[in-house]
Amino acid sequence: MSDSDSDSGGAGRCDGGGAPAAAAAAAAAAALADWQDWDDDPEEDDATRSLFSDAVLPSPEACLAHDAAAHGFDVREFRAKLSLDDHGTIRLINFIRSRVAAGADPLPALTAAAAAAAANGAAGAAQPWASDDYLTPVLPDDPLLGYDFDEEAGDEGWAGGAGAGTSAGTDAPGAVAALAAENAALRARLAALAEAALPPELLEDALAGAAAAPGEGPGARCGAGSSSSGSGSTSSSSGSSSDGGSDGGGAPPPRDPSGSGGLVLPARRRGRDIGRRRRRREGGDGKPASASARIDAAYFESYSTFDIHREMLGDKPRTEAYRDALEANPSLIKGARVLDVGCGSGILSMFAALGGAASVVGLDASERIAGFARKNVAANGLDRESGGPVSIVTGRVEQVADIGSEQVDVIVSEWMGYALLFETMLDSVLAARDRWLRPGGAVLPDVATVMVAGGSDAAMGLDFWEDVYGFSMRPMADELRAAAPGRVIVREVPASALVTAAAEAHRMDLAAMAPSGQDFTAEVVLAAAQAGECSCVVVWFDAEFSARFCRERPVRLSTAPDAAPTHWMQAVLPLRAPVALEAGARLACRLSMARSPARHRALDVSLEYGAAGGAPGAREAVSFSMEVGGE
C-alpha cells in the first residue's frame, strides 16, 4: 500500500532464562493479582441481547443460558448436533435475529432442521440460514458473533451434541484431554495478559516461557521459524498498505512451513481469548476504547515507522506502476485536483505533482508519518509554501472535517493487502470516493481482480524436505502439511509450482462498486495442465490503471507468480490433503472472502473444493482468517 507501513518487529531473543525471565514471571504474577478485577469489571462485559426477546444479559454466556432456559433453544447444543462451523454459526445467529426482527418465530424452522439432522445426519439437514446474506450482522457489534463456541464446546461437553459430555470420573482419557485443553487455554490467556501488561524489554522472555512445553525453559523454542507473538494476528511487516490505513501492526507472523521466508497467518484467536477478558485500554478521552478503536490505533501506529515504507518504496513493480499512471497520463492528471488516500511518505502525491496536477492533497491517519510526508514534500519544493501543489492533511477519511477542496478529479490510493482484500482499507478509499470525487472522476487503480490457481507442495515450500543434502525428510513435510489447513501462508510461489491454469475469482470496478462488493463467493473450476497433486490454492491479484482513465498509458500491476516479485507475494490456502489430478481433470472450488462481522479489519476466507461434477456433499471445506494485530 502506499508506503505507510507497520513496524517490522524482530525475531524473539534466545537469551535463556536468568534475571529477565524471573522479572517477567514476577511481573506477570503481579499482573495476575488484578485479573479478577479486570474479569469482573462490568465495563469489560459484553452485554448481549437475547436471540428471542429484548432481554439484555451481561455476557454471551449469560445470554446463551437465558435462551436455553427461557426459550428452550441452546445455540451450543444445536451447532454441535448440526456440526456447524464458525461461518455456519454466524449465519444461524443472524438468521434467528432477522426472523425475530421481522416478527416471525424461528423455532419451527430450527426444530425441523434438528429433526432432519437426527434422521439423515447433519450433512442431510436443510439449513434455512445457509445463504451468505446471513453473514451480515443484524445487530451491530453483536458479541455472539465473536464468541468462541469451540472453546466452550471443549469446556462444557457440547462437541458431541446433547448428552455427549462425560464426567472426568467416567472418562479418564477425556478428562486428560480436557485438562490439556484447559492448560493450553490458560497458557494462551497468560500470554495475552503478559502482552498487555509487560514492557517490551520483558515481553519476549515472558512469552517464550509461557509458550514452552513442560520441561522447556524460556528461549528453548527460539530459532528459525519460531514466533514470539503467539497471537494469531497478522503483522504488517510485509503487508502492503496505503498508510491511511493498510497493514496491521505487531510482531511479524511466524515463517512458512518450509522455513524459506514466507509468512504464516494463523487461524484467528476468537471470543474469550481476545475479546472480553483483556485489560481495558483507554482512548484519547481517558475512557475505555472499543476493540475496533484499539485495532485502528495499532493499525495506524504501525505505519509510523519507516521499515515498511522502505519495503514498499523498494517494490519496483508497485511503485513504478503508480509513477507511470500518474506521470504518463497528462489528459487525466495535468491541471487536476488529486487526493492521495493513505499517502504514507508522500511518494504518490509527489508523482501526481510531477504529472502536472493543479492541487494534490495527501491524507494519512498516522500523525507521525503525515508529518514526515510534509517534510519530504517540502524537501523537494513541492509544498504549497514553496509554490508547489501538495498539502498533507492528518486524519481518517471518515473523520477529517476538511481537505481544503469540496471535490477532486482523481483519487489515488495504494490500498491493496495480501490476497488483495486483507486489511479492509478499501472501505476508506470508497468512502473518500463517495465524499469528495466529482461525478465522472477517476479512481486509481480503477479495476482490481482476485486470481486463483492450484498449487503443488512446492507452492507451500514443502518440496524443500524432499532432498536435504541427499536425504529425504518427507516425515517432516507430512507433519507440516497436516498442520497447514486453516493457516494462510504468504510467500513467493514459483510459477513452476502451479499445477492448474489460473482462473478469475472476483473482479471489482472501484469507480462504481459499493463497499459490499468486497465480500464475494465465487465458483471457479481449475483445470490441470498435466497429471500431478494439488496441495493448495494460490491467490494473488492484478490491479489495473485502465484506458478508461489512463488513455495515454494504461498500466497493469500484477502480483502473479510469473510476474516480477512484489512485497505482496502470494497467499497460499492449504487443502486438507493433496488432491490427485489427471491431465485435463478439473478441480471445482467455491471461494468466499468477506470482511469479518465479528473482528474489525479481519478477513474471513472459506474454501470448498472437490472434483468438478462431483456431489456437493463430497467436497472438503477449510476456513481461514487473516486479521490485524492490536487486540
Which pLDDT belongs to residue 439? 97
486 and 386 together in one domain: no
Q: Which of 58-72, 451-465, 617-631 shows the lowest per-residue confidence on average (mean pLDDT)?
A: 617-631
Angle between helices 172-197 and 149-156 (to 10 degrees): 140
Which pLDDT belongs to residue 338? 98
Nearest to 246 by CA among 390, 397, 438: 397
398 and 503 together in one domain: no
In-domain check, residue 172: no
User: Domain with 571 in it: what CATH number?
Assistant: 2.70.160.11
Q: Is the confidence at residue 418, as pLDDT, over 70?
A: yes
Nearest to 211 by CA among 231, 181, 191: 191
The rounded percent of the chain whose pLDDT value lies above 70 is 66
328 and 382 together in one domain: yes
In-domain check, residue 552: yes
What is the C-alpha separation between 424 and 299, in angstroms, rounded?
Answer: 11
Final residue in a domain of this structure, among 126, 145, 164: 145
pLDDT per residue as tens digits for the range 147-202: 888 765 555 444 443 333 333 334 455 566 666 666 666 766 666 666 555 554 45
Final residue in a domain of this structure, among 145, 178, 200: 145
Domain that holds residue 54: 48-145
In-domain check, residue 37: no
Collapsing DSSP states into helix, strand and coil, what is residue 91? Answer: helix
382 and 464 together in one domain: no
Final residue in a domain of this structure, among 104, 120, 145: 145
In-domain check, residue 122: yes
What is the C-alpha separation between 66 and 195, in angstroms, rounded?
Answer: 34
Residue 406: CB atoms within 10 Å:
10
User: Domain with 428 in it: what CATH number?
Assistant: 3.40.50.150
pLDDT per residue as tens digits for the range 437-479: 999 999 999 999 999 999 999 999 999 999 999 999 999 999 9
Query: β-strands 532-545, 555-558: how paired?
Result: antiparallel
User: Which of 121-135, 172-186, 237-251 has the highest mean predicted lDDT (pLDDT)?
Assistant: 121-135
393 and 479 together in one domain: no
Cα distances (angstroms) measured from residue 89 to each of 374, 605, 608? 48, 15, 17
The rounded percent of the chain whose pLDDT value lies above 90 is 45
What is the C-alpha separation between 87 and 329, in angstroms, rounded?
Answer: 45
Q: Do 244 and 425 contact (CB within 8 A), yes or no?
A: yes
Query: Looking at per-residue confidence, does 236 or 456 come out higher?
Result: 456
556 and 428 together in one domain: no
Which pLDDT belongs to residue 187? 66
- Tell how many helices (H) and how many strands (E) occur in the chain: 19, 18
- The single-letter DSSP state of residue 234 is B
Known catalytic residue at 582? no
**Number of domains observed in the structure of the chain:** 3
Give Cα 190 distance to the centre of its chain.
23
429 and 467 together in one domain: no
Per the residue annotation, which of 77, 152, 414, 544 is the catalytic one?
414
561 and 484 together in one domain: yes
Per the residue annotation, which of 61, 423, 544, 631 is the catalytic one?
423
466 and 600 together in one domain: yes
C-alpha cell at 120: 439423515
In-domain check, residue 353: yes
Q: Do 295 and 601 contact (CB within 8 A), yes or no?
A: yes
The percent helix, strand, coil of the chain (3-state, each to 5) is 35, 20, 40
431 and 494 together in one domain: no
Name the strands in the sheet holding 408-413, side by side, starting at the edge strand that comes first in the sequence: 390-394, 359-364, 337-341, 408-413, 437-444
Q: List the beta bridge partners of residue 628.
A: 234
Q: Is the confidence at residue 490, as pLDDT, over 80?
A: yes
604 and 548 together in one domain: yes
What is the C-alpha separation between 378 and 384, in angstroms, rounded?
Answer: 8
In-domain check, residue 1: no
Known catalytic residue at 311? no
In-domain check, residue 501: yes
409 and 457 together in one domain: no
Q: Is the confidence at residue 582, as pLDDT, over 90?
A: yes
What is the C-alpha separation between 365 and 293, in angstroms, rounded?
Answer: 13
Q: Is the confidence at residue 330, as pLDDT, over 60?
A: yes
Which pLDDT belongs to residue 287? 44
In-domain check, residue 498: yes
